[in-house]
Amino acid sequence: MGAGVMKSGGGGSGRRRRGRRGGAQPMSEINVTPFVDVMLVLLIIFMVAAPLLTVGVPVELPKTAASALPSETEEPLTVTLTADGVVMIQNTEVDRGDLVNRLRAIAVERSDDRVFLRADGAASYAEVAEVMGALNAGGFSSIGLVTDIGGPALDGTGN
């Protein structure tokens, strides 16, 4: 795939060379163009497929003007509160009475005390505050509220 034949330039000396006669030498360069092409195609495939790998519970998140948080090394723990009051840890539905115990068990295994709360915009403030209290009692002191971008800002800019 990478070897070819290269003609040697004619020297005017007329001396005899050792080894081969005829002046053809093998070319020992590697052609990296196919490798680069394959890598670019794979990069594009992963860039398109990565957002599709994020699965979650369908909730109508409220829109705000806040920017996204930086990414982390550990997969973030996500607690979801749906419009009808169902609480889910990642994609598993959890009974409200068992929520604090489950969170304590998860907190022991994790190195990061951050948790993201995805609350449906139709959920009442009391329900959101109740889940936030359970998160705090479960050992998670850093709670991030997940919202959609593009919402109104308090300074009048935005939608």
- Check residue 53 and report its DSSP letter: G
Q: Does residue 13 lie within any of the structural domains? A: no
* Region of residue 93 (left: phi > 0; alpha: psi -120 to 50; beta: else): beta
Q: Does residue 30 lie within any of the structural domains? A: no
Q: Does residue 134 lie within any of the structural domains? A: yes
> Which of the four pLDDT bands, split at 50, 70 and 90, describes residue 124?
confident
Q: Which pLDDT does position 41 carry in this prediction?
A: 93
Backbone angles phi, psi at 108, to 5 degrees: -65, -35
CATH of the domain at 92: 3.30.420.270
- What average pLDDT is seen over the chain? 77
In 3D space, the residue among 158, 114, 154 whose CA is nearest the CA of residue 138 turns out to be 114
Full-model pTM: 0.52
User: What total number of domains does the chain contain?
Assistant: 1
Contact call for residues 103 and 139 (beta carbons, < 8 A)? yes
Residue 138, Cβ neighbours under 10 Å: how many? 21
Buried b (16+ CB within 10 A) or exposed e, 62-88: eebeeeeeeeeeeeebbbbbbeeebbb
Q: Does residue 135 lie within any of the structural domains? A: yes
Tokens standing for 51?
Answer: 């957002």
List residues bridging with 80 in a β-sheet: 88, 118
Tens of pLDDT, residue by residue over 14-43, are: 555 555 566 677 778 888 888 899 999 999
Number of Cα atoms under 13 Å in the Cβ half of residue 113: 9
Could you tell me the residue range of the domain that residue 129 belongs to?
77-147
Tens of pLDDT, residue by residue over 37-80, are: 999 999 998 888 877 766 566 777 777 777 666 655 667 788 88
